[in-house]
């Protein structure tokens, strides 16, 4: 559920996935959520001092995490808002910095908070995997875009309504026949 994390980051991720699903269909939204989870896991590893740890130099007070993986995702603004909400809830001092000359955006945070940043990304990745089905039988949903499914539902409702009138007329005829 969106409130599982005790902050608004889960809700923002669910809204993002719903928007992607509405535009591209459920399967595309699940794929995008799994891509987001993979990006969050890479960011988690970099933030925790993995092979691509952020920062300019040893002893630097601030770490820098390139947001390129996230910027490639549809709905980047909502993804960024979820990251911002999660880090704020984790009480991590952070800023997003846009380097206009390089065309890049970075997440800046104190090196001392790298563990909390890593945990925040890990929790967001878990939520994104949950949204994406994470390989746990989420493939049974209709992959068609929402608009197409809604049109089919409207057509089916109209057909049911039309058949209701026919059924009522048939019952009236049957009652009159029995009454004679």
3-state secondary structure 138-161: HHHCCCCCHHHHHHHHHHHHHHHH
Spatial separation of the C-alpha atoms in residues 99 and 89, rounded to whole Å: 26
Q: How far is CA 43 from each of CA 18, 64, 65, 68, 105, rounded to the nearest angstrom? A: 23, 11, 7, 10, 14
Highest mean pLDDT among 12-21, 26-35, 146-155: 146-155
- Decide the pairing of beta strands 95-99 and 62-66: unpaired
Higher pLDDT among residues 161 and 73, named by residue: 73
Residue 37 predicted with pLDDT over 60: yes
Residue 180: predicted pLDDT: 63
**CA nearest neighbour of 39 among 65, 7, 8:** 65
**CA nearest neighbour of 134 among 12, 47, 17, 9:** 17
The reported pTM is: 0.58
Residue 140 predicted with pLDDT over 60: no
30 HSE (CA, 13 A, CB side): 18
Residue 93 predicted with pLDDT over 90: yes
Q: How many CB atoms lie within 10 A of CB 12?
A: 23
Share of the chain above pLDDT 70, in %: 69
Residue 23: predicted pLDDT: 66
Question: At which residue do the structure tokens 């820098």 appear?
Answer: 64
Residue 53: predicted pLDDT: 44
Residue 52 predicted with pLDDT over 80: no
CB contact at 8 A, 139 and 133: yes
**CA nearest neighbour of 81 among 1, 7, 4:** 7
């Amino acid at each position: 559920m969106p409130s599982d994390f005790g902050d608004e980051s889960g809700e923002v991720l669910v809204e993002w996935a719903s928007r992607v699903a509405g535009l591209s269909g459920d399967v595309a939204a699940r794929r995008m959520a799994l891509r987001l989870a993979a990006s969050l896991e890479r960011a988690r590893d970099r933030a925790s001092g993995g092979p691509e740890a952020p920062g300019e130099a040893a002893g630097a007070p601030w770490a820098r995490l390139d947001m390129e993986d996230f910027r490639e995702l549809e709905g980047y603004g909502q993804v960024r808002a979820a990251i911002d909400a999660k880090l704020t809830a984790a009480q991590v001092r952070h800023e997003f910095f846009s380097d206009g000359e390089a065309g890049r955006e970075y997440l800046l945070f104190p090196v001392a908070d790298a563990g909390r940043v890593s945990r925040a990304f890990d929790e967001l990745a878990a939520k994104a995997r949950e949204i994406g089905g994470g390989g746990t039988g989420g493939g049974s949903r209709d992959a068609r875009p929402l608009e197409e499914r809604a049109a089919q539902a409207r057509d089916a409702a109209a057909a049911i309504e039309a058949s209701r009138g026919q059924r009522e007329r048939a019952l009236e005829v049957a009652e009159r026949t029995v009454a004679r």
